[in-house]
Amino acid sequence: MKLLNIDANPKTVKGQKQGYMTAVLYLAPFTAAGINVCPMAELAGCVAACLNTAGRGGIAKGGATFAPHGTELPDNAVQRARVARTRLYAEYRDAFMRQLERELHAFVRKAARAGLVPAARLNGTSDIVWERVPVDSSHPDPRVAATIFDLFPDVQFYDYTKLPKRFARPLPANYHLSLSYSEASKRYAALCFAAAREHDAPLAMVTRKGYTADCTLPWAAGETMRQRGECHVVDGDAHDLRFLDPPGAVVILRAKGRARKDTTGFVID
């Protein structure tokens, strides 16, 4: 079982035109594998609209489903593999990290052969705080234990997150985060705007129609941008390389999969 998906996603393939090859790690989101890898999912209202069901992940013969840990999922090889990877991460962390290290080394070599820069997204369908996950959990001092970012300083890592507090701490130099906005909870929306104002956190917003030339932002988002003295609104579907966006950008993404029918406030009309 492989951990990384390398440019097999229509959106990440677009990054090749920008000179990048992208590897993504897809896990079973929220508690679908019996471990919560998305701690803010309920507050942000993204459980039902998760991209886990977009593309091949949402297709199952005859509409068959399975629920290995109480969460109903489309019964296909994609979902079963995501559950298996997540269980490996939960139960055999060191073995998981060793395999991730091996696959990243192979990915770096593959990108070099293609003349592309390697970029990696470890939270394709999860929200793990990777900057706090040691490669070797047996290290006597977890405060100085190496992370995957330390082992691959020449790889550009990036993710979307729903954990505003991550922006309050220094991130590894080769790790870029975009904060995923939602209006499902006034409290969560306020946390997003606070992180944008205080830490210049980029905001990613999922909308029903996606990016248009006359995109209008939620009032508070526009006010936040004005307070920062700039307002860079970018098309998040043009490519997935968020680290190329201007600092403090607002990223507009089109709803996909089950998100197209979302009414929680995660998808903005």
Q: What is the dihedral of CA 205, 211, 212, 218, to 10 degrees?
A: 0
- Which amino acid would we find at residue 169? R
Q: What confidence category does residue 74 fall into, taking pLDDT thresholds of 50, 70 and 90?
A: low
Here the tokens at position 152 are 């691959």
Going from N- to C-terminal start, the domains of the chain cover 4-268
> Which of helix, strand or coil describes residue 140?
coil
The whole model's pTM is what?
0.87
Residues 218-250: b if buried by 16+ CB within 10 A, e if exposed: bebbeebbeeeeeeebbebbebbbbbbbeebbb
Here the tokens at position 98 are 């060793």
237/256 Cα distance (integer angstroms): 11
- Given a contact cutoff of 8 angstroms between Cβ atoms, the answer to whether 147 and 172 are in contact is yes
Q: What is the dihedral of CA 33, 152, 162, 241, to 10 degrees?
A: -110
Higher pLDDT, 22 or 10: 22
Cβ-in-10-Å burial (0-12, 13-18, 19+) of 198 comes to exposed
pLDDT over 60 (residue 12) = yes
What pLDDT shows up at residue 218?
Answer: 59
Higher pLDDT, 57 or 12: 12
Cβ-in-10-Å burial (0-12, 13-18, 19+) of 13 comes to middle
**Helices H, strands E: what count in the chain?**
7, 11
Element (H, E) at 117: strand 117-121
Higher pLDDT, 2 or 222: 2
- Given a contact cutoff of 8 angstroms between Cβ atoms, the answer to whether 215 and 252 are in contact is yes
Question: 85-131, pLDDT tens digit by residue?
Answer: 999 999 999 999 999 999 999 999 999 999 999 999 999 999 999 99
What is the mean pLDDT of the segment spanning 11-21?
92
Higher pLDDT, 61 or 4: 4
23/121 Cα distance (integer angstroms): 6
Residue 54, by phi and psi: left (phi above 0), alpha (psi -120 to 50) or beta?
beta
